[in-house]
Amino acid sequence: MPTSAFSLARRLRAGETVHSGWCGLASPIIAELIGREGFPAVTLDGQHGLWDVAAITTAIAQVRLGGAAPIVRVPVGEFATVSRALDFGAEGTIAPMINTPADARAYVRRSGSEAGARIGRQPWPACRTRRSICARPTSSVSHLR
Protein backbone atom coordinates (compact mmCIF):
# COMPACT_ATOMS: atom_id res chain seq x y z
CA MET A 1 0.00 0.00 0.00
CA PRO A 2 1.43 3.41 -0.87
CA THR A 3 2.57 5.68 1.91
CA SER A 4 0.44 8.69 2.68
CA ALA A 5 1.43 11.72 0.66
CA PHE A 6 4.54 13.52 1.88
CA SER A 7 5.08 11.49 5.05
CA LEU A 8 8.90 11.53 5.12
CA ALA A 9 9.28 15.00 6.65
CA ARG A 10 6.67 14.22 9.30
CA ARG A 11 8.51 11.03 10.26
CA LEU A 12 11.88 12.78 10.46
CA ARG A 13 10.47 15.68 12.49
CA ALA A 14 9.08 13.13 14.93
CA GLY A 15 12.64 11.88 15.49
CA GLU A 16 12.14 8.61 13.65
CA THR A 17 15.14 6.95 12.00
CA VAL A 18 14.29 6.42 8.34
CA HIS A 19 16.51 4.09 6.31
CA SER A 20 16.62 4.50 2.54
CA GLY A 21 17.37 1.88 -0.07
CA TRP A 22 19.72 3.28 -2.71
CA CYS A 23 19.08 2.68 -6.40
CA GLY A 24 21.62 3.58 -9.08
CA LEU A 25 20.13 1.46 -11.86
CA ALA A 26 17.73 3.45 -14.02
CA SER A 27 14.93 0.93 -13.65
CA PRO A 28 11.70 2.15 -12.07
CA ILE A 29 10.57 -1.43 -11.38
CA ILE A 30 13.75 -2.12 -9.38
CA ALA A 31 13.19 1.09 -7.41
CA GLU A 32 9.62 -0.05 -6.68
CA LEU A 33 10.83 -3.48 -5.54
CA ILE A 34 13.31 -1.87 -3.13
CA GLY A 35 10.36 -0.06 -1.55
CA ARG A 36 8.30 -3.26 -1.45
CA GLU A 37 11.13 -5.00 0.41
CA GLY A 38 10.46 -2.78 3.40
CA PHE A 39 12.59 0.32 3.00
CA PRO A 40 10.51 3.33 4.08
CA ALA A 41 12.36 5.47 1.49
CA VAL A 42 14.14 4.82 -1.81
CA THR A 43 16.85 7.15 -3.10
CA LEU A 44 17.18 7.44 -6.87
CA ASP A 45 20.85 8.28 -7.43
CA GLY A 46 21.02 10.75 -10.30
CA GLN A 47 24.55 11.75 -9.29
CA HIS A 48 26.43 8.47 -9.79
CA GLY A 49 23.58 6.30 -11.05
CA LEU A 50 22.17 5.92 -14.55
CA TRP A 51 18.99 7.98 -14.01
CA ASP A 52 17.74 10.61 -16.42
CA VAL A 53 14.75 12.90 -15.85
CA ALA A 54 12.30 10.67 -17.73
CA ALA A 55 13.24 7.60 -15.71
CA ILE A 56 13.16 9.58 -12.45
CA THR A 57 9.63 10.76 -13.23
CA THR A 58 8.41 7.21 -13.72
CA ALA A 59 10.38 5.86 -10.77
CA ILE A 60 8.90 8.37 -8.32
CA ALA A 61 5.43 7.00 -9.06
CA GLN A 62 6.71 3.40 -8.92
CA VAL A 63 8.43 3.95 -5.57
CA ARG A 64 5.16 5.29 -4.16
CA LEU A 65 3.34 2.24 -5.51
CA GLY A 66 5.91 0.16 -3.65
CA GLY A 67 4.93 1.88 -0.42
CA ALA A 68 8.04 4.02 0.07
CA ALA A 69 8.96 7.69 0.01
CA PRO A 70 10.92 8.70 -3.13
CA ILE A 71 14.08 10.76 -2.66
CA VAL A 72 16.18 12.03 -5.59
CA ARG A 73 19.93 12.65 -5.44
CA VAL A 74 20.58 15.23 -8.13
CA PRO A 75 23.83 15.59 -10.09
CA VAL A 76 26.25 18.31 -8.98
CA GLY A 77 25.08 21.71 -10.15
CA GLU A 78 21.83 20.54 -11.76
CA PHE A 79 19.67 22.85 -9.70
CA ALA A 80 16.70 22.75 -12.09
CA THR A 81 16.43 19.02 -11.48
CA VAL A 82 15.63 19.73 -7.82
CA SER A 83 12.42 21.62 -8.49
CA ARG A 84 11.45 19.17 -11.23
CA ALA A 85 11.91 16.20 -8.90
CA LEU A 86 9.74 17.91 -6.28
CA ASP A 87 7.12 18.71 -8.94
CA PHE A 88 7.10 15.04 -9.93
CA GLY A 89 6.39 14.02 -6.32
CA ALA A 90 9.75 13.36 -4.68
CA GLU A 91 9.54 13.75 -0.91
CA GLY A 92 13.10 14.98 -0.65
CA THR A 93 16.24 15.75 -2.58
CA ILE A 94 19.90 15.18 -1.85
CA ALA A 95 22.40 17.60 -3.35
CA PRO A 96 26.05 16.55 -3.43
CA MET A 97 28.85 18.98 -2.62
CA ILE A 98 26.87 21.15 -0.20
CA ASN A 99 29.56 21.85 2.37
CA THR A 100 28.68 25.20 3.92
CA PRO A 101 25.58 27.20 4.88
CA ALA A 102 26.29 29.44 1.87
CA ASP A 103 26.26 26.36 -0.40
CA ALA A 104 22.90 25.36 1.08
CA ARG A 105 21.40 28.82 0.52
CA ALA A 106 22.64 28.82 -3.08
CA TYR A 107 21.16 25.35 -3.58
CA VAL A 108 17.72 26.56 -2.48
CA ARG A 109 17.95 29.80 -4.48
CA ARG A 110 19.19 28.21 -7.71
CA SER A 111 16.82 25.24 -7.59
CA GLY A 112 13.85 27.55 -8.10
CA SER A 113 12.23 26.29 -4.89
CA GLU A 114 13.05 29.24 -2.64
CA ALA A 115 9.74 31.07 -3.18
CA GLY A 116 7.73 27.88 -2.69
CA ALA A 117 9.64 26.87 0.45
CA ARG A 118 9.32 30.34 1.95
CA ILE A 119 5.55 30.62 1.60
CA GLY A 120 4.68 26.93 1.91
CA ARG A 121 3.17 26.60 -1.56
CA GLN A 122 4.40 25.11 -4.77
CA PRO A 123 3.88 27.38 -7.78
CA TRP A 124 2.76 24.53 -10.06
CA PRO A 125 1.04 21.81 -8.02
CA ALA A 126 -0.39 19.64 -10.79
CA CYS A 127 1.48 16.51 -11.69
CA ARG A 128 0.61 12.92 -12.51
CA THR A 129 2.27 11.49 -9.40
CA ARG A 130 0.32 13.63 -6.96
CA ARG A 131 -2.95 12.98 -8.74
CA SER A 132 -2.36 9.23 -8.50
CA ILE A 133 -1.78 9.47 -4.74
CA CYS A 134 -3.98 12.28 -3.47
CA ALA A 135 -7.57 13.11 -4.24
CA ARG A 136 -6.51 16.77 -4.19
CA PRO A 137 -3.03 18.19 -4.76
CA THR A 138 -1.15 19.18 -1.63
CA SER A 139 0.07 22.72 -1.05
CA SER A 140 2.94 21.80 1.26
CA VAL A 141 6.46 22.16 -0.10
CA SER A 142 10.06 22.29 0.97
CA HIS A 143 13.14 20.41 -0.03
CA LEU A 144 11.98 17.74 2.36
CA ARG A 145 8.27 17.36 2.25
State yes or no: is 143 an active-site residue: no
Strand, helix or coil at 74? coil
- Sheet with 69-73, side-by-side order of all strands: 20-23, 41-45, 69-73, 92-94
Residues 6+ apart with CB under 8 A from 11: 18, 40
Spatial separation of the C-alpha atoms in residues 74 and 110, rounded to whole Å: 13
User: What is the three-class DSSP state of 21?
Assistant: strand
By CB neighbour count within 10 A (0-12 exposed, 13-18 middle, 19+ buried), where does 11 fall? middle
Q: Which of 10, 48, 118, 131 is catalytic?
A: 48
Note whether 141 and 120 are within 8 A (CB): yes
Residues annotated as part of the active site: 48
